Structure 1
């Protein structure tokens, strides 16, 4: 097990470490072989002793028979007769030597032959090394001793018998050993079957996947272990579900309107302020304020329950509208007043969208309030770079009051909605030209650890060069998404980032992908191919960021991409965490390494008790899952101090380090 650069725990087979099954097989197999070898050695010794005794007995019997013959049947004093008897016995071929000696030890008669090859391997004869005992018998005539007979049996037959016995022992032991090892292998493999499944389950638990179960049955003890592991997986799954629900509940309490599910007034204002007043995020956009006229009268006439139902229906219409506008968000302000912010939108488009939205809401309101006369009014204001959120809200509110001066449903644009910027076709030409000419560049901003030292990574922010100057992502990305050009921008950006990593492997980078890019199968395929060609040393220093909205709307594509990136050890983080209203349960099955909290939760957190409590809960639960938590948009020392107390793993923002061009070195870095 190891923790890679992305903080993800990875479990792999350790090289050079023996498995339990192999260890048991080797130990038990060695024991079996040792027992069989001991049996062979013991049996060989026994049979060797037996053959030696037979050889010695044969020599004694021969000496006794010759001695009796020389004493009784033949005159032992006659050398010729004695020699004839000895020759007859010796010619049987079972003796190595027969000698007849007188009382002084002088030979009277005898025969001998050298030890010839007994028909067994030489090494075996040397190993057996049978003793050649000399058997003796007295030769007498009456009461007079004539001499003695010495007989040595030929060991050839004994060697052959012992060789056959040894071969039979070895063959029998080999058959028994092979059969025993096969049975042992099958038995160990069957017994340890649950261990492989348990290992896979443990790995899945390490990846926060609690769905895997072990159903393999084996011995009683292992069955109890598998039952305990399955129960633990169930308990952890339930615990995670409970934690996810707690986070969702905390987020709703802190940031959602209890009736409509849209952002609360405080949360909307906080996010709007972040969008407008953050230097990196500030970009043109459109703010809409919508209000149902005489909602208090409708509430009084139809009841509170009907009023809440109407508000939920209005919220559904607004959410459906936002689904077609990437980056947009909405909230309920007071009563029946709603606010919608669309980053990157043009006034000409805003007029068309607002008119259609007012008409749809007017039809809904009229149907619910019939026969009462009702109306829906809207005010539009354009956000310019450098404009404060309070000023923009005041302009939109003034436009709303202007629209409310008319009896019927209508809308108004603050300051007449003058066009100060390019048209849509001009924007399309500018972005397409930048892509075609490779004018997409990137800037870097460090993500720093609390303890200091080298940054965890540098976040990549895209820019495009135009004749009018360099444009930030917040300005052109919403347009690129509308024109279907964001995938081409991401392609250029990823290739530039990989080239940068090859040149500067000591500086990890993080790049966030657009939802349209992730949803594109060709882009995912090409991305994985580029990363595979770059090699693990390069891609292990690349963080891939996916927004919560991308995860929610493209769950299948995200799952496929994550599995491919996990095989390459590429760390993946959740970007803009917390703003999408997405259930936290996706962390249960998707192997993310980190969360990056959105700016809107960090901005002013030193004075925002609800966001502080929510973030503290997120950090505790994420850390329990092995997921790191980063913060973005830290712009004051007070915000950073609070984040450090909460246990954040890393933070970035203008207070900690400003963005710089990738080909430049930041001051003080």
Structure 2
């Protein structure tokens, strides 16, 4: 059973970081300590100034009392007033009063607090207590009266104001420097946490390359070492799983000697190309046979015979690589099969003879002095023709070629061509691009127990007076003429327009290999998607595995650009490209779409079922979805559902329909 991963719906919000919490707590504690120190110092200085003010008043009262008692006649108001005026004019007193026995003022002076050079609010806040100092005025044994003195608090307020300013400035300075030092210390100490967070996110995205190199405290260093070790272990685990998948693919679908497709794998792919309604297209099947190979094997031994097959297979593989969409396989012994889509019979005849001549040169050199020959049978596809009839026609053509002892290629009787010639195709495709006469056909990618499709796969068709031309027919021609980028550009333009009208209905498009390899196309498409708005997140872009293999750098640039725009990307025709599965470590794909050839008769094909089960398990462990195409029967779909597939598409689940004539919701 495939384990499903539950992901959070969105990033967590409102959670404070550890650094913030420590900074707030420690900073608050520092501020509280400084404030406590400030108020303690302020209270001490306020009490000190108040005591100084009271002492000054007592000293003044005592001095005036003695002056009135001894120096002058205190009973004379004029003399008493002169003494008080002399003292008061020093400006150090707020009031001086000389009172008789009955409390009546004999002489006195007073003034307000306006002379204090401090803000008015400071006077209100500080509010120093005005203590009255008293002294007795006596003459001999006679008590003449009482002197009451209040010192002027102006200087006290000014001194306290200066002290308060210095306390505030020193508190702010110490607090500011302390907070900055605390911030820098926490930043340096907790710096590995930022790297650990990035590493954790990378692991969540199944990227095991992220490493933490920042050193800090002993505890954090132990955590970073453990995380790095875990990332290494997971990376090695994935690498091992990827190698296992690659090995399974080779065992199930590759010939163990030549590395070409095995007979069953070739026949499955050929069936998809020939019999699928969307893919059926003009093409040519070539069967190539080395005559006298059994004698060569007996004369030179099995190892030399295998070396010969490997060299011939290399030439066959090179030939297939020169033609877009072509694929090759080894059928039996020294017989090879090659299918080239979108090729005219005349061109196929020329290419076949060139390949036969090249193979014959190698075979004759290695087998000398034995007599050797290379024979080939060539036949083209026809409308309504099944894969069995196509193989039978190619076998018959090969037998005709083998009737001669000389190397040669025989082309089966084509009868009526049934397809346009090259120049006509060029005119049709150029006219379609110029007039934008491209129609969209949609096929749903469905998921079990889900009403709405995951997305709709978009197929393009050219509107022609003779009828609607399927993509499988004109795309190989467009790739041959170098026009596929214009077709894909027009397709994306039409798809974006449809997404703008129905943004909640995801669509998927597949790009041609030449389009992906073009820098100009990539820049144009990224610009189109950037200006399209948020609905581009509902557009799936498919890139074939063979394109990834041949244009790794261009694919990487395109995938990263699409990732920045939030456009999901899937690997199309997964399994037939022969690419090591490890590319998922370096490129962020959101899904794999298994090639039809692996889905055909999967209910009875144990090897393909085991292979697909392994792919689903590893892909899901990296957060990558797995889709299947070419589902033709209920039995196939039942097996796929049990394997935990994320979506499936095929005639059993829904046939393609014209987007312009139906709404997506109708399906």
Contact 1:480 1:486 (C-alpha < 8 Å) held by counterparts: yes
Give, in whole Å, the separation in 2 of the partners of 1:418 and 1:145. Answer: 151
**Larger deviation, residues 418-427 vs 559-568:** 418-427
Can you give the 5+ residue segments of structure 1 that lack an aligned partner in the other structure? 1-6
Q: 1:306 to 1:9 in 2, by over 3 A?
A: farther
- Counterpart Cα distance in 2 of 1:477 and 1:39: 83
1:73 deviates by: 4.3
**Range with greater deviation from structure 2 (10-19 or 425-434):** 10-19
C-alpha deviation, 1:11, in angstroms: 11
User: In 1, Cα distance between the equivalents of 2:114 and 2:268?
Assistant: 109
Q: Is the 8 A contact 1:8 1:626 kept in 2?
A: no
Alpha-carbon distance, 1:346 to partner? 1.9
TM-score, normalised with respect to structure 2? 0.94
1:89 Cα offset (Å)? 2.4
Please tell me whether the aligned partners of residues 440 and 660 of structure 2 are also in contact (alpha carbons under 8 angstroms): no
Q: Does 1:519 align with 2:514?
A: no
CA contact (8 A) 1:9 1:206 kept: no
- CA drift of 1:264 comes to 1.0
CA contact (8 A) 2:287 2:376 kept: yes
Per-residue CA deviations over 1:632-653 (Å, capped at 9, x if unaligned) read 1111111111111000001111
Q: Does 1:571 align with 2:568?
A: yes
CA contact 1:9–1:207 (8 Å) conserved in 2: no
Shift of residue 662, structure 1, vs aligned partner:
1.0
Query: What is the DSSP-based 3-state SS (H/G/I as helix, E as strand, rest coil) of the residue aligned with 2:413?
Result: helix
1:652 paired with 2:649, answer: yes
**What secondary structure does 1:55 align onto?**
helix
Query: Quick one: distance in 2 between partners of 1:53 and 1:383?
Result: 115
Query: 1 CA distance for matches of 2:10 and 2:169?
Result: 43
In 1: Cα distance, 2:10 partner to 2:171 partner: 40
Comparing 571-580 with 29-38, which one deviates more in the overlay?
Answer: 29-38
SS at match of 1:605: coil
User: Aligned residue for 2:303?
Assistant: 305
Please list, as runs of the form range in 1=range in 2, the aligned pairs for 1:320-331 lying within 5 A after superposition.
320-331=318-329
Matched, 1:441 2:434: no
Q: How does 1:419-458 map to 2 (within 5 A)?
A: 419-458=417-456
Shift in Å at residue 273 of structure 1? Answer: 1.7
For 1:493-504, list aligned pairs within 5 A: 493-504=491-502
In structure 1, the residue matched to 2:95 is 97
**What is the aligned counterpart of 1:580 among 577, 583, 593?**
577
The whole-number CA distance in structure 1 between the counterparts of 2:414 and 2:122 is 114
Q: Deviations over 1:378-416 (max 9, x none)?
A: 112222122121221122112212211211222222236
Q: CA deviation at 1:123?
A: 0.6
Aligned to 1:409: 407
Match of 1:546 among 533, 543, 546: 543
CA displacement at 1:102 relative to structure 2: 2.9
Q: Distance in 2 between matches of 1:570 and 1:8?
A: 21
Secondary structure of the 1:58 match is helix
Matches of 1:311 and 1:634 in 2, distance apart?
Answer: 35
Give 2:385's match in structure 1, choosing from 387, 403, 406.
387
Deviation at 1:596, TM superposition (A): 0.6
Structure 2 residue runs without a partner (length 5+): none
> For the Cα contact (< 8 Å) 1:255–1:263, is it kept in 2?
yes
The answer on whether the counterparts of 2:379 and 2:414 sit within 8 Å (CA) in structure 1 is no
Structure-2 separation of matches of 1:113 and 1:206: 80
Q: Which residue of 1 aligns with 2:623?
A: 626
Aligned CA RMSD, in angstroms, stands at 2.3
Q: Deviations over 1:518-552 (max 9, x none)?
A: 1111111110111111112x211111110001111
Q: Is the 8 A contact 1:55 1:158 kept in 2?
A: yes
Q: 1:612 aligns with which of 599, 603, 609?
A: 609
Distance 2:437 2:161 in 1: 90
Alignment-derived partner of residue 635 in structure 1: 632
Q: Secondary structure at the match of 1:606?
A: coil
Q: Is the 8 A contact 1:435 1:489 kept in 2?
A: yes
3-state secondary structure, aligned to 1:540: helix
Say if 1:134 and 1:334 are closer, same or farther in 2 by CA, change over 3 A. Answer: same
Asked if structure 2 preserves the Cα contact closer than 8 Å seen for 1:282 and 1:386, the reply is no
Within 5 Å, give how 1:118-133 maps onto structure 2: 118-133=116-131
Q: What's the counterpart of residue 591 of structure 1?
A: 588
Report deviation, 1:254. 1.1
Deviates more, 1:373-382 or 1:517-526: 373-382
CA contact (8 A) 1:11 1:203 kept: no
Q: CA deviation at 1:219?
A: 2.9
Q: In the TM superposition, what whole-angstrom CA distance separates every residue of 1:155-207 from its partner, at most 9, and x where no partner exists?
A: 11111111111111112222223322332333233333333433433444344
Alignment of 1:131-150 (within 5 A): 131-150=129-148
Q: Tell me how far apart the structure 2 counterparts of residues 16 and 607 of structure 1 sit (CA, whole Å).
A: 53
Return the match for 1:341 from 333, 339, 342.
339
SS at match of 2:589: coil
Check the 8 A contact 2:439/2:660 in 1, yes or no.
Answer: no
Deviations 1:435-471 (A, max 9, x none): 2222221200011121221111110111112222111
Q: Please state how far the C-alpha of 1:241 moved relative to its aligned partner.
A: 1.2
User: 1:71-110: CA deviations, max 9, x gaps?
Assistant: 4444544544433333332222211122222333233333
Partner residue, 1:399: 397
1:230 is aligned to: 228
**How many matched pairs?**
662
| 620 and 13 in structure 1: CA distance in 2 versus 1, 3 angstrom threshold | closer
**Is residue 2:317 matched to residue 1:287?**
no
**Residue in structure 2 matched with residue 350 of structure 1 by the alignment:** 348
CA deviations 1:1-60 (Å, max 9, x no partner) are xxxxxx998999877665554554444444333332332222111111110011111111
- Name the residue aligned to 2:33: 35
User: Bigger CA drift: 372-381 or 98-107?
Assistant: 98-107
Once residues 12 and 647 of structure 1 are traced to their aligned partners in structure 2, the CA distance between those partners, rounded to angstroms, is 24
TM score, norm. by length of structure 1: 0.94
8 Å Cα contact 1:381-1:417 kept in structure 2 = no
Give me the whole-angstrom Cα distance separating, in 2, the residues matched to 1:661 and 1:170: 79
1:3 corresponding residue in structure 2: none
Deviation at 1:257, TM superposition (A): 1.0
Q: Partners in 2 of 1:51 and 1:171 — Cα distance?
A: 20
Which whole-Å CA distance do the structure 1 matches of 2:63 and 2:115 have between them? 27
Aligned equivalents of 1:621, 1:152: Cα separation in 2 = 93
Relative to structure 2, which stretch is displaced further, 638-647 or 483-492? 483-492
Q: 1:88 maps to what in 2? A: 86
Contact preservation (8 Å) 1:574, 1:595: yes
More displaced, 396-405 or 249-258?
396-405
Contact kept in structure 2, 1:382 and 1:417, CA below 8 Å: no
